[in-house]
Amino acid sequence: MSGSADREYTLGDYRAPLGDIGFILNHVSGIADFDFWDREFSGEILQHAAKFVEGVIAPKEPVLDTQSPRMEDGRVKVSSLLKEIAVQYAEDGWFGLNVPEEFGGQDQPDILSNAVLEMICGASLNAGMLTSCPPAALKLLVGEGSEEQKARYVPGLVSGEYASTIVLSEAQAGSDLRLIRTTAKPDGNGDWTLEGGKVFCSNADHDITPNILHCILARTEGAAEGTRGLSLFLCPAVLPDGTRNNIQVTRFEDKMGIHATPTCVVNFDAAWAEMVGEPGEGLRRMFTMMNAMRLDVAVQGIGLCQIALQRGSAYAAERLQGRSLGKEANGDTVTINHHGDIKRMLQTMEAFALGGRTMVYRTAVELEKSQTSPLAAIMLPVCKVFVSDAANEAAHMAIQIHGGYGFCKEYQVEQIARDARITRIFEGANGLHATNVAVSLQKPAGQAAAEAFTADIEAALEAYVAETGRNALQQPLDDWLRASEAVENMSDPGMVAYDYMRLTGLTAFAAAWARIDAAAANAAYPARIKKIAAFVRDYMTPETEFLANRICGYG
């Protein structure tokens, strides 16, 4: 994969950073340590994906942002452009990329699907929202479904006959799944009927696919209170006999961003469903899908950081304004990428894109080793929070670089901010993840995750031979360790939970950049990597000391 295009940013459409993606995949992520990894074949797949993303998806995005869904005769209709993307994506076989061959897939590692999704989301979060749900449902079915359920649904999800949703939230139960009231009753034939309403259901109805598979948490009669009483159900929009299930979309939301995708309020009125596993196993089995989708949100964040960087860099390279303050200054008007404040923002966005990519890809590799990895248990929420926060920060930096033009739709950066904002909310609000990580330190599983995290940072230290780099990474680790001790001893760490999550994310980010820096010789532009690594080391990671002081001072 050539890296030359990574540095030739142009205004407008997204360009896939294949050089950067290949560098992180092959030299930093750890996937190359697996015997099944085929670097050449993977590169070919990513080139095909980039061609599809750049040629089919990216040109449609400006129009997609203006085409909201509509209701016709009780059904949701979406943009014909979104439908074109989804149909071609399915026809080209992308839904089966990481599905086992026995189910008609290509049996590629999940990290390759992450890289493809990153490109899609950089070009269009609307398209990313649509294409990320079926792979998560496939992960759930292959890992948790019965043989009959796999045979019934997997081929349709791979072919594109089925779309899918994850249906959790209710009006009174957002992040707190203990409050779910949707009920399931036996139908007398070995299956179930569902009663209740769900909100914020992405892609819960549309005219793209003949069928939609809803993956739902509901409570059986007489079940225990709280999450222990939840069971997992599969509920198709169209029943095997061709009739429609008793599912009704009562409205879809008029949203701040991701305008082309429907986010629906859905009622289930004695809707037929079948259970996955046994009663009370719902949350445990659903975590397979939830974890996949949380990592997908972090992947979305990488794509958003990348497009913010591309548009900000392209504009800054052309916009003449002011005189340089550097030693080379001669009084002439310069492009704004010569100004220190603009350089700071561009380097931050570049650091976010490469560092976030490394954090997410390495977590995907950890999940290849084990879906119950203690390191993955902490890195999944850390990646989701840190990278989604970074995407929002990068979006606002891109707007600031554009000045007044950034506030106007023509330059396509205000949309990045509108679309990015949801990544801090869905698949678990960032504050909830932060609180859970902080509270988990007082439990055995959380302690195991913290120990795995410490070992991973120490491994990065060992790999980072440059003395300045070692010192810079040792400091965040020391800050994180003393803050962790303080949080562990707090009766209520909620007030500092987000600071602790930020500190954890920055420590992981510093370790990611230690690994990137150590592998710089393998990059297309080693000097560029070294420059950004020094910026991260000297400018970004010193924040860990401030955060640790605030956490320990509060405690």
Q: Across residues 267-290, what is the average pLDDT?
A: 92
Pair 208, 78: CB distance under 8 Å: yes
The residue ranking higher by pLDDT, 305 or 285, is 305
Return the bridge partners of 433, or none: none
Residues 119 and 54: their CA atoms lie apart, in Å, by: 9
Beta bridge partners of 276: 232
pLDDT digits 0-9 by tens, 458-513: 999 987 766 676 778 999 999 999 999 999 999 999 999 999 999 999 999 999 99
State the pLDDT confidence band at 289, using cuts at 50, 70 and 90: confident
The tokens for 21 are 């993606």
Lowest-confidence pick of 25-29, 222-226, 345-349: 222-226
The pLDDT mean for the chain works out to 94
The predicted structure's pLDDT at residue 11? 58
Tell me if 123 sits within 8 A of 65, measured CB to CB: no
Which backbone phi and psi does 508 adopt, to 5 degrees? -65, -40
| pLDDT number for residue 5 | 40
| Domains of the chain by residue range | 4-159, 162-284, 429-555
Q: Summarize pLDDT for 334-361 with one digit per residue, the tens.
A: 999 999 999 999 999 999 999 999 999 9
124: helix, coil or strand? coil
Q: Count of CB atoms within 10 A of residue 207's CB?
A: 13
3-state secondary structure 234-293: EEECECCCCCECCEEEEEECCCCCCCCCCEEEEEEEEEEEEEECCCCCHHHHHHHHHHHH
Find out whether 201 and 263 touch, Cβ atoms under 8 Å: yes
- For residue 41, what is the enclosing H or E element? helix 39-52
The two three-digit tokens of residue 81, written as one number: 């452009």
Q: Hey, what CATH topology would domain 162-284 get?
A: Butyryl-CoA Dehydrogenase, subunit A; domain 2 (2.40.110)
| The length of the chain, given as a count of residues | 555
- What is the four-CA torsion angle of 19, 21, 27, 33, rounded to 10 degrees? -140
Which has the closest alpha carbon to 145: 295, 288, 244, 241?
Answer: 288
Residue-level pLDDT at 323: 86
- Looking at the DSSP bridge assignments, the partners of residue 274 are 234
Query: Which of 177 and 131 is assigned the larger pLDDT?
Result: 131
pTM across the whole model = 0.95
pLDDT at 6: 44
The strand ranges marked E within 115-229 are 162-167, 183-186, 192-202, 211-220
Mean pLDDT, residues 26-30: 98
Look up residue 290 and give its amino acid. Answer: M
Percent of the chain with pLDDT over 90: 86
Q: Read off the pLDDT of residues 47-84 as tens digits, 9 standing for 90 and up.
A: 999 999 999 999 999 999 999 999 998 899 999 999 99
Indicate whether 220 pLDDT > 80. Answer: yes
User: Kind of pairing, strands 162-167 and 211-220?
Assistant: parallel
pLDDT surpasses 50 at 383: yes
Distance CA 454, CA 466 (A): 20
Q: In whole angstroms, how far apart are CA 513 and each of 28, 352, 551?
A: 10, 10, 24
What is 4-159's CATH number? 1.10.540.10
